[in-house]
Structure formats: C-alpha cells, structure tokens
C-alpha cells in the first residue's frame, strides 16, 4: 500500500528536503515533520547581525550589517541537488557566486606550526613555477616528492582489505609526513575529525576507486579518465535546474544573500503553506515502535497523542534514533560511529586603512594539520582546526566593506578543548601568530558550540549501512521506514539534500 501518512523525524536540511520532495511524490499523503528545536534548519544557521563601532582612524561611528554562519557557509556548484532546490524554490535571484579566477578560489593555506607561517597551497600544477613565499621549498618538497614518486611505488593494498582509515591509506601511498600534513588538514576542513579514525571508503570513495583504476597507483588512477556513471548515480538531465547550469559555469563556490539559511527558511515557508504538511517544532520523539499485531508504526512525542504513520523517514543522528526505538525492534549499527563537536567563532574586525597591512591574505582561509605528537599536546592549546576568511568570498552579503569577517573552527578531535567557554584574548593571540600580525580588537565575537554536529564514519561504515538497509527492507519494517541523512551517507549540504530528494523513492 502506498503511504497515506508519513512522519519525517528531524527538521534539519535532510528532513526539510525529504518533506519537500515527499509532497511532490505523494501529493495526497499527510506529512508530519518533527523537530526537537522550535527553530527548523538544524546545523544550517545564518544570522544577519548589526555591528556598530567607533572608527579609530577618523573617530566616526560606523555601522554594518553582516551575515554570519554557524554551519556551512559556501556551496559547491557540482552538487546538482542543491541547485535544483534553489531553482524550484525560486531563490536564483539571491545567489552570490565566487569565480574560479578569484583569490578566494585560488588561495588556500595551511598553518604548519613547524614552518611558523601560512603556507599557500598550489592551485594548479603550473603554480610551482611562479610560486613564491618563504615556505615554498618545504611545501614543494613535501607535496612534489610524495606525489611524483607514488606512481612508481609498488601496489601495496593488502589482499582482501575492504576499508581502512584515511590516514592508513594516505600513509601507504604517500608516506606518513604527507598524510599527517595534507590528509589530516583536509579531514579537519570537512569532517573536523581525526584522519586516523575516518573510513576512506566512506569519506573519499573516489580515491579508493582511483587506486583500483590505476593498478595500485592513486595518481595514475586520477589521471586516467573517470568511468561513466555508476548505476546508482543520477544522470544530470534528471535535475530541474532552469538556467543554473549556465550561471554556475566558472564558479568556484557560491552562497545566498542572507546566507545558507535562505534555503532552509524557504523550505519551511513552502512546507507551512502546503495543506497536507504539519510542522511540529519544539517536539521531541520519545519512542517509536511497531504494533506486533497490526504492524502499524506508533510514534510517541512530547507534544501530542501517539501518531500512527504508515511510513517513516528518520533523519535523526543515528545514536538518537537508537534512543527512541524499543528494544524489540532495535536496528543494527546505530551506535557504531561517534559524532564530532565543533566550536565555531565568528569574528568581525574593523578593516584596517589601505595604507596598512591587511588582516589576512586574500583567500579561502587556512587549515591546521594534526600536531606531530597528536591531539593531546600543547602545540595547539586551543584546538584550532582552521580559519575561514569569510570576507574574501562572501563580503557581498554585507552592507559595508568597512569590516572584515572571519570564522575560526575549534574542537573536533581536540575533544576536551571544544568547550563552549572561549578565551577570546587567547584566541586572538594564537590567530595573530598564525597570521603573522597583531589582530585588532574585534567589534563582534559570536561563539556557537555545535555539539555532535558531524558524524565520524569509522572504518567499515559502508558495510554496516548496507546491513542496516537490509534489515529495514525485511520484516517488521518491510521497507516502510528509511534511515537517511548525514549519519548514513555523506555530510555535505549536497549529500543531505540528495538524500531527502530520494526519500520514499521505492514506496508505491
């Protein structure tokens, strides 16, 4: 029987996207979205904030309205699911794009404490010829020697190995120093996690495939032409993009005028206006069971009588779903992964006059690799994972360019340091060391502690999720409940929306 009443558990990006596409797929079904917080949107949180301060150079009172993000801040144009949603929700006019040729797109930095300065990463192979900066020899040695030697290294994947950590994979192919510096930084920027614990096949499946394609060499595999679409990939033509494919030509990243929340707010508006959709904000799920005789779902919440949906889409973090299931119907592997917590600190500074040095080089920002002796030493006291130079890419959101905004991310694998209490003067002093200049007093500091915001896919995650899907397809679930979202299959905005887009695809 097709769904007549669908419960969507979770009102973050995945839950809202799922509800949106379910209204299109099952226009007559009753759809209820349950969100534990009164505010929908989950980790996506953009705020427009007014800052007022006295300009010390001319004594004038200055005002600026700036958009600050507590979660994702820029989007990549290759995620078609995001573009489709922007098109379908009529948000194209709010797009702000960053061209591939801009400094924000080309200049990415690492802060490697041993080198004591920001090191720009090459953005193209020919960059090595014109590359400048005091650390270039060190980076060139590290980057080039390992990458150039890799194709000549013998195949060294152990027979029968079906997953390993990102760090083990990178060390095997490129060496331990390369892995510690580059792989750990990349993993900090995406997963805010320890590369020694993250599953390569879940986080970077294309590298695993490249190694196979390159007969053991990742570099050769990348240089070889990619295979055609795999059977579970959607052809580009199945997305309704309007003219967004053209708009996104030569775009590196993009955002929306009022920030990424523009998307979640528009979804909430659409769903609230839809007659068959019921939005329950500030309502927690406390229990989910299946009546053994009728086989109907029984959903117990903090707000209302028990609900009896015919179908359920759970977008809850897996450990939360585990907490609401009765033991009789518990599902496998829901507690196998831990979730990472990230403290996000938005900083707004007055822009220094043009005659003085800028606060930071133009660019995307920088990442800090794992310290040589791990996460529990004193080299990175505050547990800084990286810093984004927001003004380089999203200044067009703001009412004035008299201010500079940046965001520092802390915590993740430095677990014990990701505490909500941040000592701002310690933070500024550490950032000043990274940037090689003394930062002025910020005119605004905003701290968000994102507790358990990103799942850490441990080795074997893909296999475990396959087993979970298998159990959900059999009795008593019989395919009537789907478990989707960042906890299962991909942490990016595109992955979350894609998962929502596919919700209920096989219900008829």
Per CB under 6 A, residues contacting ligand LM7OVKF4 are 71-74, 76, 188-190, 192, 253, 342, 344, 364-365, 367, 385-388, 409, 450, 491-494
The CA-atom distances, in angstroms, between 373 and each of 121, 345, 370, 379 are 23, 26, 8, 9
CB nearer to ligand LM7OVKF4: give 169 or 364.
Answer: 364
- Provide the minimum distance between the beta carbon of 385 and ligand LM7OVKF4 in the complex, in angstroms, as a whole number: 4
- Provide the minimum distance between the beta carbon of 336 and ligand LM7OVKF4 in the complex, in angstroms, as a whole number: 20
- Provide the minimum distance between the beta carbon of 491 and ligand LM7OVKF4 in the complex, in angstroms, as a whole number: 5
**Which residues make Cβ contacts (< 8 Å) with residue 16, sequence separation at least 6?**
33, 40, 41, 264, 267, 268, 271, 500
Q: How far is CA 126 from the centre of its chain?
A: 30
- Provide the minimum distance between the beta carbon of 397 and ligand LM7OVKF4 in the complex, in angstroms, as a whole number: 14
The CA-atom distances, in angstroms, between 239 and each of 77, 79, 88, 344 are 13, 11, 10, 33
CB nearer to ligand LM7OVKF4: give 317 or 494.
Answer: 494
Q: Could you write out the DSSP letters of every residue in 341-401?
A: EEEEEEEEEEPPPTTS--SS-SSSEEE-PPPTT-SSSSTTTT-EEEEE-HHHHHGGGSS-S
CB nearer to ligand LM7OVKF4: give 29 or 409.
Answer: 409
Closest CA to 348 of 47, 51, 45: 51
Q: In this structure, what token pair is assigned to residue 86?
A: 């922007």
CB nearer to ligand LM7OVKF4: give 5 or 262.
Answer: 262
Structure letter (DSSP) for residue 225: P
Check if the beta carbon of residue 61 is closer than 8 Å to that of residue 232.
no
In the bound state, the residue with its beta carbon closest to ligand LM7OVKF4 is 386
- Per the rule left: phi > 0, alpha: psi between -120 and 50, beta: everything else, 43 is alpha
CB nearer to ligand LM7OVKF4: give 3 or 72.
Answer: 72
- Provide the minimum distance between the beta carbon of 367 and ligand LM7OVKF4 in the complex, in angstroms, as a whole number: 5
> Between β-strands 277-281 and 30-35, what pairing exists: parallel, antiparallel or unpaired?
parallel
Q: CA–CA separation, 182 vs 301, rounded Å?
A: 45
Check if the beta carbon of residue 284 is closer than 8 Å to that of residue 36.
yes
CB nearer to ligand LM7OVKF4: give 5 or 74.
Answer: 74
CB nearer to ligand LM7OVKF4: give 172 or 188.
Answer: 188
- Provide the minimum distance between the beta carbon of 508 and ligand LM7OVKF4 in the complex, in angstroms, as a whole number: 32
As a whole number of Å, the CA-based R_g of the chain is 24
Residue 285 phi, psi (nearest 5)? -85, 130
- Provide the minimum distance between the beta carbon of 427 and ligand LM7OVKF4 in the complex, in angstroms, as a whole number: 14
- Provide the minimum distance between the beta carbon of 387 and ligand LM7OVKF4 in the complex, in angstroms, as a whole number: 6
Taking every pair of C-alpha atoms in the chain, what is the biggest distance, in angstroms? 77
- Provide the minimum distance between the beta carbon of 194 and ligand LM7OVKF4 in the complex, in angstroms, as a whole number: 12
CB nearer to ligand LM7OVKF4: give 344 or 468.
Answer: 344
CB nearer to ligand LM7OVKF4: give 105 or 403.
Answer: 105
Q: Could you write out the DSSP letters of every residue in 169-194?
A: HHHHHH-HHHIIIIIHHHHHHHH-S-
């Amino acid at each position: 029987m097709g769904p007549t009443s669908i419960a969507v558990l979770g009102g973050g990006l995945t839950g809202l996207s799922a509800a949106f596409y379910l209204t299109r797929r099952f226009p007559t079904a009753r759809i209820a979205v349950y969100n534990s917080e009164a505010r929908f949107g989950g980790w996506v949180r953009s705020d427009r904030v007014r800052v007022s301060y006295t300009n010390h150079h001319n004594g004038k009172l200055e005002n600026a309205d700036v958009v600050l993000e507590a979660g994702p801040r820029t989007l990549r144009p290759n995620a078609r699911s995001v573009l489709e949603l922007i098109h379908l929700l009529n948000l194209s006019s709010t797009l702000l794009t960053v061209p591939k040729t801009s400094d924000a797109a080309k200049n990415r930095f690492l802060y490697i404490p041993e080198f004591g300065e920001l090191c720009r990463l090459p953005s193209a192979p020919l960059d090595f010829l014109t590359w400048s900066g005091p650390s270039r020899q060190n980076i060139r040695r590290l980057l080039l020697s390992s990458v150039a030697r890799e194709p000549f290294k013998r195949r060294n994947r152990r027979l029968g190995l079906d997953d390993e950590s990102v760090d083990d994979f990178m060390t095997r192919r490129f060496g331990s120093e390369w892995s510690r510096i580059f792989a750990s930084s990349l993993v900090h920027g995406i997963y805010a996690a320890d590369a020694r614990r993250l599953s390569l096949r879940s986080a970077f499946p294309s590298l695993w495939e490249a190694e196979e394609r390159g007969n053991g060499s990742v570099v050769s595999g990348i240089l070889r032409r990619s295979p055609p679409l795999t059977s579970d990939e959607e052809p580009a033509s199945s997305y309704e993009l309007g003219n967004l494919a053209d708009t996104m030509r030569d775009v590196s990243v993009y955002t929306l005028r009022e920030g990424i929340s523009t998307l979640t707010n528009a979804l909430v508006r659409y769903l609230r206006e839809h007659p068959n959709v019921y939005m329950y904000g500030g309502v927690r799920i406390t229990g989910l069971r299946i009546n053994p005789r009728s086989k109907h779902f029984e959903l117990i919440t903090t707000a209302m009588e028990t609900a009896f949906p015919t179908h359920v889409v759970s977008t809850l973090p897996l450990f939360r779903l585990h907490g609401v299931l009765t033991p009789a119907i518990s599902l496998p592997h829901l507690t196998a992964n831990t979730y990472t917590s990230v403290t996000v600190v938005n900083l707004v500074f007055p822009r220094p006059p043009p005659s003085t040095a800028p606060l930071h080089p133009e660019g995307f920002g920088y990442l800090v690799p794992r310290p040589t002796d791990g996460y529990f030493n004193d080299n990175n006291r505050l547990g800084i994972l990286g810093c984004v130079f927001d003004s380089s890419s999203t200044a067009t959101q703001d009412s004035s360019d008299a201010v500079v905004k940046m965001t520092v991310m802390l915590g993740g694998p430095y677990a014990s340091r990701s505490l909500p209490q941040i000592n701002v003067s310690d933070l500024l002093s550490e950032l000043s060391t990274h940037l090689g200049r003394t930062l002025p007093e910020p005119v605004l500091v905003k701290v968000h502690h994102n507790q358990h915001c990103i799942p850490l896919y441990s080795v074997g995650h893909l296999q475990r999720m396959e087993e979970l899907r298998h159990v959900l397809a059999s009795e008593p679930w019989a395919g009537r409940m789907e478990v989707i979202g960042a906890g299962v299959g991909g942490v990016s905005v595109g992955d979350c929306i894609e998962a929502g887009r596919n919700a209920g695809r096989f219900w008829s």
